[in-house]
Every structure is written in structure tokens, then in C-alpha cells.
Amino acid sequence: MNYNYVIGLDYGTDSVRAVLVDTAGGKELASSVFYYPRWAAGKYCDAQKQQFRQHPLDYVEGLTATIKEVLEKVGPEAAARVRGISVDTTGSTPVAVDKTGTPLALTPGFEQDPNAMFVLWKDHTSIKEAARINEVAANRAVNYLQFVGGIYSTEWFWAKLLHVLRTDEHIRPNIYSWVEHCDWIPFLLTGGQDVKALRRSVCAAGHKSLFATDFDGLPPNDFFTQIDPLLDGFRDRLFDRTYTSAEPAGHLSAEWAEKLGLSTDVVVGIGAFDCHMGAVGAEIAPYMLSKIIGTSTCDIMVVPEAEMKDILVSGICGQVPGSVIPGMVGLEAGQSAFGDVYAWFKNILLWPAKNMGASPAELEKLENDLLVTLSQQASKKPITENSVLAVDWLNGRRTPDANQALTAAISGLQLGTDAPEIFRALVEATCFGARAIVERFVQQGIPVKGLIAMGGVAQKSAFIMQTMADVIGMPIKVHRAEQTCAIGAAMFAATAAGIFPNVEEAMVAMGQGFDKSYAPDSIRQALYNKRYERYKSLGGWISAQVGAQ
């Protein structure tokens, strides 16, 4: 039998995961997870400043460790059967590089400089820079934000570049170009040495960098110099062409082939963001909203290009032809915090244990059991229209209508309010935020025909998923694969390597199906409709206060 194996790499916020997959049926042969040691130690981050940076060595070490481990788990015959590797990453997570495409943190003198490292998606240090981009864009004859929802976010490519340029005079003269994580890993694996030859994904370019065929590529240089003269010339040092993830970035270099124990015949695919490849791993179909639910959420929909017509959806994270599946427009939305909301509440409740002498064993048990127990108790609490209410913007709002300056709130507290009631309000709030995204698509002419959920929260919490079905009023299918993003990357690896002619056939052949579903309860749905209106009112009040500052 002719075996064809592929490797999918999924770079998340805390770790990188690799899967080795047999393309004949999509069986996951082995998986491996590597937790970033520098990130776990809290290095280069300052939550008070909303600064979150990651060292490229965490990524490189994780790449090596996970691929070696999945090959070792399967046995000596596995390496010879690997045909392709593809990568997904968080985003926008860009980094400053020199002319060779080397991140500055890997060059002498910049090893410990956070501004020389990858600026993680959740880094919100560039709020002022995003505001400046929006201000300039609003007064231009051409609307360069029309394909990214009309609002540029602090989480994205240009805002982050400008912030680094403005705040670090040492870095400034050494930045030659600015590269997304999902584009850098394939460049690294293929032995790239000239950043001008680095192949950029249409996914990252279209959703975060303002690349569009309507503009003949990136906006003109004078748009960027109007934002700030520090951006002068960067456009010409970036890119004028993009590629879909169904295309190859090249072959594995001799250096990396030797390091990993693979052949230089292995094809390395063009990278993309985790949510886009995850949607493919979850077997997305037109007009189905795919939700990757983890620390944040990323919501993806695909619409055939001919059916989009002239629709421009406002307040989302972009609509880009080919960013998910070639021939379809990929639409992206999401929430800046989802699982992070629950993690925040857990840390609040665990503060006494962490700071007042609990043993490591006691603390580990509390951490493992707390959210499970809260969910059990919260599910037993009666809900009324006036129960404790929360707004979920603990990390700002991504969509609809990005505004990272927004903050969260909890209202209706009394002396009798307990932890499960607050937790339930936080769960409802994250689900209300999810409903707002669905409503934005529907209101602007894009029907949502169903929901697909994946990720840790979707797999582990029936309470949260049932609440979401009740709040949105739609059934939700949960994908069976635990590593859906990595499986999606594997599907793209199989396509880039020529095993399948297109990613749709890869999905059919390698898809793992669904194992859970949640249907809305009509009684709870009616109650949540009323509570959702109160959520919008409270959120509107918060937005007005921020706008008045």
C-alpha cells in the first residue's frame, strides 16, 4: 500500500501542537504538544500595559520537538512517508526582521528586547496607532478599510508596526521588514534567506495588512506616510503578491530535513491563521459559521465569490477571496476574550490559595476542579430577566466594531450573590457576544445557516455550549477532532503536496466528523432574548463612557 502522511502544525497562544495524519481516511497517527517555556515563565509580557510578546526561540524549539515526537511515536517508517507540512498560527502576530528575514530577537544585541519579538495577537499596546489609522482612513478618497469591516484594530499588522517604530529608537533603524508568524515558519522551513522572496499568505495579507486586488495590492505609500512619516518606504519592502494555503511555499531545506529526519522532497505549504485552517479542519460549508473557541474566539464563514456580489460587511475582521478556500470569500469575526474571561474569574477566586500558603498539590486540585464545579452549580441556578448581568469585554471588543479600549462590567450584584451566579453571568456574556456576531452577518445580508464549534471550550463544557445554543437560538455541532486547527493544516499540506487536487476533496477524504450537538431550549431562548437586550443596553452605556473620555 502507498502510504501518504502529512504533518499539521498549529501554533496557539500557549503552545504548538503537531499531528501526523494518514491522508487515506484522515486518521490521526500521533500528536504532540510543546508549551512555550519563555511564555510560561511570563517573560517579555506586561499585562498591565497589555503587552504580550513571544520569543521566536519558543516557536523554533516547539517546531523541532513536536515534529520529532510524532515521528518517533509512529516508528522508523513514518519519516519516509511524509509528503507535506503546513502551518497555522495565531494572528495578527508579526515580527521585525532584517533583510534575510531573520527576526531581530535572533540577532546580536536584540535577544532580550520585547520589540524585537513576535507581537502576539492579544497585544493591545497599539491602541493609539490603530486610532490614527482609522482617523486617516476616514478622510481618504479611497476607503482602504472597506474589506476589513471599516475599522482597523490594534490587534493588527500596521498598528503594531507603527507602535514599535514610535516607541523603540534602538529597533527602528534595524527593521527592514515586518512579517506575520504564519508566513515566517514556512520561510524558515524552506531555508529562506531573502525576505523579499518570502511568500505571504492571502489570509494574513487580506485580513490584517489591507492587501486587496481592488487596491492593486497594499494601499499606496502616501497613505502610510500620512498616518506617520515613520512608515515611509515600508510598503515597498513588504510584498505585492499573495498565495492561498492550497499552494506550496517550497520544499523542506536540507538543514531542516536533516534536523527533523525528513526528506527534502517534503512540500511545505503556505501558512494561514489558526481559525481559517481550523474552519477547514472542521469541514466548513458555505454559510455555516465556524467558531474556534479557546482563549478568544475566531468565527469564520465562507461564501462563494459569485454570491457575495457587492456586499461589504461592516465591523468584522475582513472579507478576503481565497483566505480560507480558493474560490470562496472568507469572512472573519471573533471575540477578543472567551476562555480568557473564565480564566480571569478563576484567577480571582484562586488568589487566596495562591498567596496564602496552599500547597502545590492543593492548588493543582483547585485549578482542575474549579470551573467544573462552578459550571455544575451555575447550571442549577434559576435565571430571571433581572439576574446578575455581565458584559464580556475584559480584553476589549474585536467584533462587531473593534474597540480595544472598551472594558467589561458586572451589574446586579447583591450581598446574596455567590460565585456560581457571577460565573453564569460571565458565561452568558460571552454567549451574548457570540450572538452579536451572528446578528451582524444576518443584518448585512449574509445568512447564517448553522454553527460549527471546535476547540477546548467546545469539547469540554456542555454547560457553555448549551448556553450558547439557547442564547443564539441555533443548533451547534461540535467537531470530533481535538486538534481541529492542526487537522486543517494537515488537509492543506495534503493539497499543497498534490495528494488532493483541492482542499474540498481533502476535507471529504480526511474529515473526522462531529460527535456532539446542542439544540436550543425554547423556554430559555425566550428568556435570553430579554436578557440580551439588557446586555446591549449595558454595553451601549459602557461604549458611551469610553467615547466621552
pLDDT in tens, 61-111: 999 999 999 999 999 999 999 999 999 999 999 999 999 999 999 999 999
Q: How confident is the model at residue 510 (pLDDT cuts 50, 70, 90)?
A: very high
Distance CA 170, CA 124 (A): 21
Residues 339-479+519-548: name the CATH superfamily. Answer: ATPase, nucleotide binding domain (3.30.420.40)
Q: How confident is the model at residue 358 (pLDDT cuts 50, 70, 90)?
A: confident
Quote the percentage of the chain above a pLDDT of 70: 99
What predicted TM-score, i.e. pTM, was given to this entire model?
Answer: 0.90
**What's the average model confidence in pLDDT over 326-338?**
95
Q: How confident is the model at residue 311 (pLDDT cuts 50, 70, 90)?
A: very high
**Is residue 333 scored above 90 in pLDDT?**
yes
Distance CA 316, CA 311 (A): 13
State the CATH architecture for 5-282.
Answer: 2-Layer Sandwich (3.30)
Instruction: Render pLDDT for 16-50 as a digit per residue (tens, 0 to 9).
Output: 999 999 999 999 999 999 999 999 999 999 999 99
- Say what the pLDDT of residue 295 is: 86
Q: How confident is the model at residue 481 (pLDDT cuts 50, 70, 90)?
A: confident
Burial 373-402 (b: 16+ CB within 10 A, else e): ebbeebeeeebeeebbbbbbbbbbbbbbbb
- Say what the pLDDT of residue 547 is: 67
**Is residue 1 scored above 80 in pLDDT?**
no
H-helix segments, 6-97? 37-40, 56-74, 78-81
Closest listed residue to residue 18, CA positions, set 74, 82, 65: 65
Under a CB-based contact definition with an 8 Å cutoff, are residues 300 and 346 in contact?
no
**Is residue 377 scored above 70 in pLDDT?**
yes
Query: Bridge partners of 86?
Result: 8
**Is residue 549 scored above 60 in pLDDT?**
no
- Say what the pLDDT of residue 455 is: 84
**Is residue 310 scored above 90 in pLDDT?**
no
**Is residue 464 scored above 90 in pLDDT?**
yes
Instruction: Render pLDDT for 219-236 as a digit per residue (tens, 0 to 9).
Output: 999 999 999 999 999 999
**What's the average model confidence in pLDDT over 466-484?**
94
- Say what the pLDDT of residue 109 is: 95
Instruction: Render pLDDT for 531-543 as a digit per residue (tens, 0 to 9).
Output: 999 999 999 999 9
Beta strands in 78-119, from DSSP E residues, in sequence order? 82-89, 94-97, 118-119
**What's the average model confidence in pLDDT over 246-268?**
98
- Say what the pLDDT of residue 294 is: 86
Instruction: Render pLDDT for 105-145 as a digit per residue (tens, 0 to 9).
Output: 999 999 999 999 999 999 999 999 999 999 999 999 999 99
Q: How confident is the model at residue 456 (pLDDT cuts 50, 70, 90)?
A: confident
User: What order of strands is seen across the sheet that includes strand 450-454?
Assistant: 319-321, 328-335, 297-304, 288-293, 450-454, 476-479, 514-518
**What's the average model confidence in pLDDT over 8-13?**
96
- Say what the pLDDT of residue 4 is: 95
- Say what the pLDDT of residue 2 is: 67
Under a CB-based contact definition with an 8 Å cutoff, are residues 72 and 262 in contact?
no
Q: Taking the domains of the chain in order of start, what are their residue ranges?
A: 5-282, 339-479+519-548
Tell me which DSSP letter residue 220 carries. P
**What's the average model confidence in pLDDT over 508-512?**
94
- Say what the pLDDT of residue 3 is: 81
Query: Bridge partners of 250?
Result: 268
